[in-house]
Amino acid sequence: MSAPPSSAPPARFLILFDFDETIIGENSDHTAVRTLPDQRLPAWLTDSYREGQYNEHTQKILAYMADQGVSKETIHAAVEKIPPAPGVLELFQFLRSRRHDFELVVVSDANTYFIETWLQHAGVRDLFRKIFTNPGSFDDSGRLVLLPFHSHSCPRCPDNMCKQTILREYRACREKERGGMPFQRVFYVGDGANDVCPTQALGPLDTAFARRDFPMHKLLLEMQPSAKFKANMVPWVTGEDIVDCLRKVLEER
């Protein structure tokens, strides 16, 4: 399905999605590890992880997988088979029917290869205007090479990615491109601890959709009495919970 014509009015709402355990039902890095001959990492590699160095640690894992003979084709097939999170395809079907209202973006600490592969296979890549994630591509030796997305000064986030910085910069850039017209509301859909930081950039009209009983939900419950968190927080179990909320927003006009 082609993108809306340029003469169409700009979308009123911006909705940002995490990828692992939000769009898909599991962590894509864990999926990749299961393609190893013994389906797990050696203890020396697991124990080498350091707080805030997830991207660097994943680079080591991918190098190890190449050394163990895991091919691009094996990884590609495994990523395509990852199941979506509950109700997410129904959510995307709804957003496709209202694509003139919603602009969609992915903000993820996964990598371009995993995300592009999965979205293309699921038939929903065209829904997303932009994907913000760590660059990942196969080199001539057959190894998936991962690079950090950016550097930043946020003390709360991993060295390679601050999702709040991405959200703020994207929103400012799009407002300028839209002739000074801001989005009426911003929605953020996530599950993990690194999805909390971007919610600090949301205002009273915006909504943080936190997957119920996952780290993002638990952390936001703790933060809700604080003035730092200004948005609405809506827990979700299935993508259809998000559809219900978005329908109500559309009915408000």
Give the residue numbers marked as catalytic. Answer: 18, 20
Residue 227 neighbours by CB under 8 Å, 6+ apart? none
Is 20 labeled as ligand-binding?
yes
Of 72, 196, 83, 51, the C-alpha closest to 145 is 72
Token readout for 202 is 């949301």
109 is in an annotated binding site: yes
CA–CA gap between residue 77 and residue 80 (Å, rounded) = 5
Residue 207's region, left for phi above 0, alpha for psi from -120 to 50, else beta, is beta
159 labeled part of a ligand binding site: no
- If you search the block for the tokens 């290869």, which residue do you land on? 113
Residue 139 counted as an annotated binding residue? no
Long-range contacts of 242-247 (CB under 8 A, 24+ apart): 242/87, 242/91, 242/189, 242/209, 243/87, 243/90, 243/91, 243/94, 245/207, 245/209, 246/94, 246/95, 246/98, 246/102, 246/187, 247/94
Contact between residue 196 and residue 174 where contact means Cβ atoms under 8 Å apart: no
- How would you label 225-246 residue by residue, b for 16+ Cβ within 10 Å and e otherwise? eeeebebbbbbbebbebbbeeb
Pick out the residues of the known binding site for Mg(2+). 18, 20, 191
Binding residue ranges for substrate: 29, 109
From the annotation, which residues make up the binding site? 18, 20, 29, 109, 191
